[in-house]
Amino acid sequence: MKILKTIAEVREQVKAWRAEGLTVGLVPTMGYLHEGHASLIDASVRDNDRTVVSDFVNPMQFGPNEDLATYPRDLEHDAQLVEAHGGDIIFNPEPEEMYHKGFSSFVDMTVLTEELCGLSRPVHFRGVCTVVSKLFNIVKPDRAYFGKKDAQQLAVIKHMVRDLDMDIEIIGCPIIREEDGLAKSSRNTYLSEEERKAALILFHTLRYGEFMLKNGERNVAKITAAMKEKIAAEPLAKIDYVKIVDLDTMQQITEVDRPALCAMAVYIGKTRLIDNFFTEDLWNSADPKNKEIK
Ligand code: PAF
C-alpha cells in the first residue's frame, strides 16, 4: 500500500494498472477512517482489481463558520486501516495540489441541493461536486463508493455523473452503526461522554419514524412532527432539519407515496450529526425491532 501526494503520481500508477487491463475502484474520503469507510473499501476491493482511497479534507465544502480547522486527521491510522482492508493507494494531496493558485472552475448543481444539507450548508455541495469531479478526472475509476449516511451527497453524485456523462458506476453502501445504533461518523469524536449518550436520539427517532410508516402512516407532516417532538425532549439536541423528500429529486413531499428519504440533521451540543433511512430499505427489511418501538 502506497501513500501518494501528487496528481501526477496517481495518474502514473493508474496508467500502469490500466496497461495490465486491471479495473480500478475509488473510495473518496476526508480521512479519519472508521468502519463505515472500511465497508466502502471492502466493497471496492471485492468489485475491482485495484482500489484507490482519497484522503483529503476538502476546504471547498466547508462554510466559513464550520469545522474545517478542527476536522480530525490521522494519516497513520488511515494507512493502517486501508492496508488491512486491501486498498492499494491512499491519495493524500495538500490543498495546494488540488487547488492551484488562480483555481476558478466549479461544478455546481441546482434542484437536488435545495433542501436538507444543501439548504443549511449553502456552499457544501458545490465543494463536494467540484472535488469529486476532480478525483474522478485524476483516478478515472470504473466504480466509486459512497456511504448512504450522506444520502443527499449520494443522490447528488449519481445525478452529476448522469448529467455530465461521466462513465463511472456509483455504488451506495449501507450505513454502518455503533452497537447501540449511532451512525459511525468522524465527527462522533467531537462528542463528550454525555453528548455521546444524547446522540442516540437520532437513531431512536428514526426508528420511531420507521415504526409510524410500518404501521401505515403516510402523512409527512404527521410523521415529521412526531419525530421532532421526540428530539425536542432531549435537552442537548437542537434540530437543524427533519424532512422526508422524494428520493430522486430530494424535494419535499407531503405523502409517502413513492420511494423517499427520511433525513435529519441535529446538533448535539456544537456537533452537527446527520442520519437517515430510505423507505425502500424499510419495506425490504424484515427487522422485527420495527414492531417493538412505541
Ligand atoms: O463524504 C465525504 O467524506 C466527502 O464529502 C467527500 C465525498 C470525500 C468529498 O470531499
Ligand 1 centroid – CA 130 distance (Å): 11
246 phi-psi bin (left φ>0, alpha ψ -120 to 50, beta other): beta
pLDDT at 294: 35
Can you list the domains of the chain with their CATH numbers? 2-173 (3.40.50.620), 186-283 (3.30.1300.10)
pLDDT at 95: 98
* 34, 37, 85, 159: the active-site residue: 37
pLDDT at 285: 78
> Is the C-beta atom of 78 inside 6 A of ligand 1?
no
To test ligand 1's pocket by mutation, which of 56, 57, 58, 91 has the most ligand atoms within 8 angstroms of CB? 58
Place of cell 469531479: 133
pLDDT at 276: 98
CA–CA dist 155, 162 (Å, integer) = 11
pTM beyond 0.85: the answer is yes
For residue 219, the number of C-alpha atoms closer than 13 Å in the C-beta half-sphere is 4
Q: What is the CA radius of gyration of the chain?
A: 19
pLDDT at 57: 98
Q: Whose CA is nearest to atom 7 of ligand 1?
A: 28
> Is the C-beta atom of 275 inside 6 A of ligand 1?
no
Q: Mean pLDDT per segment of 10 residues, for the chain of length 294 residues?
A: 98 98 99 98 99 98 96 98 98 98 98 98 98 98 98 98 98 98 98 98 98 97 98 98 98 98 98 98 70 40
Our answer to whether residue 77 is catalytic in this structure is no
CA angle 168, 131, 113 (to 5 degrees): 85
Q: State the pairing for strand pair 260-268/237-246.
A: antiparallel
Atom of ligand 1 nearest to the CA of 147: 1
Q: Given strand 24-29, what is the order of strands in its sheet?
A: 2-4, 89-91, 50-55, 24-29, 143-147, 169-173
- Tell me which long-range contacts 109-113 makes (C-beta under 8 A, separation of at least 24): 109/156, 109/159, 109/160, 109/163, 111/249, 111/250, 111/251, 112/152, 112/155, 112/156, 112/159, 112/249, 112/250, 113/152, 113/156, 113/250
